[in-house]
Amino acid sequence: MMAQIQQEDKQNLGAKKFNMWIFIFTSFLLFMGFMSGFIVYVGGRGHALQVLLPNAFIYSTVVLTLSSLTLIMAKKAAKGLQLAQQRLYLWLTLFLGIAFLALQINAWLVLIKMQVFFSNPNAARSFIYVFSGIHFLHVIAGLLVLLNTVLATYRNIPQVKNIFKIEMASIFWHFLDIMWICLYVFLLLNQN
C-alpha cells in the first residue's frame, strides 16, 4: 500500500514538473513573439529605440543574477539537509526578487522623466514597457512560487517534497533570470 502511494506521489510530481516546463515554453514563445514584433516594426520603419536605457536596468540585471545564485545555494542546502541555510537563502532570493521589481519601477520612472512613454510617435519605445512589463508580471508569479517554497520549509513535509518544491521554484526562477538577460541585451542592441 505504501509503495502504491509513493508511486502515485511520484507520478503527480512528474506531472507538475511537466506542466512547469509547458508554462516556461509558452512564456518563452510569448517573449519571442514580442521580440519578433519589435524586429518587424523596426525593420519596416528603419529606426530603433533611439533612447539610452536607464542604469536601473543594469542594476536590476545584477540583482536578478544574484538571486539565482542564492537560489542555487538554497537548493544545495536543501539537498544537504541544512534547513536553516535553505530558509536563509530562500528569503534572500525573495528579497532580491523584490529589489528587482523596485529597480524595474525605478527604470520606468526614469523613462517617464526622459519623456519616453508607452504611447510614442516612435512605437518601438513602447516595446521597452511591453518587454519589462510582461517580465515584471512573471517575476511576481515567481515570487509567489518562492514564497510558497519558503513557507513549506516551516511545515512538516517530507524532504522529498521540500526538494521538489525548490526544484520547481529553481526551474521557473532561472528561466526568469535568463529571459531577462536576453531581453535586456536585446534592448541594449537596439537602443540607438
pLDDT in tens, 16-38: 888 888 999 999 999 999 999 88
Domain that holds residue 152: 2-189
Number of domains in the chain: 1
Residue with cell 522623466: 113
pLDDT in tens, 62-94: 999 999 999 999 999 999 999 999 999 999 999
Residue with cell 519589435: 38
pTM: 0.87
List the CATH number of the domain containing 91.
Answer: 1.20.120.80
Q: Which amino acid is at 174?
A: H
d(CA 171, CA 87): 18
- Number of alpha carbons in the 13 Å side-chain half-sphere of residue 179: 27
- State which of 54-68, 104-118, 153-167 shows the largest mean pLDDT: 54-68
> Are 144 and 106 contacting, i.e. CB atoms less than 8 angstroms apart?
no
pLDDT in tens, 126-171: 889 999 999 999 999 999 999 999 999 999 888 888 899 999 999 9
> Are 18 and 164 contacting, i.e. CB atoms less than 8 angstroms apart?
no
Closest listed residue to residue 149, CA positions, set 108, 103, 80, 94: 94
